[in-house]
Amino acid sequence: MIDGGEAIRKLALNVARYTGLAPLARPFVGGIGAILMLHRVTATPEKPDSVNRHLNIAPSFLDAVIADMKAGGYAFVSMDEAVERIKAGGKGGRFATITADDAYRDNMTEALPVLEKHGAPLTIYVAPGLIDGSAHLWWDVVEDIVKACDRLSLATSNGPAVIDCATPARKHQAIARLHAYFTTEVREEDLRTVLRGLAASHGVDADAPRLRTLMTWDEIRAVAAHPLVTIGAHTINHSNLKRLSEADARREIGAVKDMLRTGLGEEPSHFAYPYGYASAVGCREVGFARDAGYASAVTTRHGVLRAEHAGFLHALPRISVNGRYQSLAHIRTMLSGVTTPLANAGKMLVTV
Task: Point out which residues bind Zn ion (CB under 5 A).
Answer: 1, 101-102, 274
- If the CB atoms of residues 95 and 271 are measured against Zn ion, the closer one turns out to be 271
Provide the 3-class DSSP secondary structure of residue 63: helix
Distance of closest approach, residue 131 Cβ to Zn ion, in angstroms: 12
Q: Shortest approach of Zn ion to residue 312 CB, angstroms?
A: 21
Question: Which residue number, 92 or 263, has a Cβ lying nearer to Zn ion?
Answer: 263
The CB-of-1 to Zn ion minimum distance in angstroms stands at 4
Indicate the residue among 51 and 307 with the shorter CB distance to Zn ion: 51
Minimum Å gap between C-beta 276 and Zn ion is: 8
CA dist., res. 43 & res. 59, Å (int): 6
Q: How far is the CB of 346 from Zn ion (least distance, A)?
A: 28
Q: At what angle do helices 59-71 and 328-335 cross, to 10 degrees?
A: 50
Q: Which is nearer to Zn ion, 102 or 252 (CB)?
A: 102
Please tell me the distance from the alpha carbon of residue 143 to that of residue 52, in angstroms, as a whole number.
9
- Min dist CB 120 to Zn ion, Å, is 21
Our CB check for Zn ion shows the closer of 130 and 165 to be 130
Nearer to Zn ion, 275 or 288 (CB): 275
Cβ at position 102, least distance to Zn ion in Å: 4
Q: Residue 102 or residue 144: which is nearer to Zn ion going by CB?
A: 102
Between 104 and 325, CB nearer to Zn ion: 104
Residue 234 CB, shortest distance to Zn ion, in Å, is 6
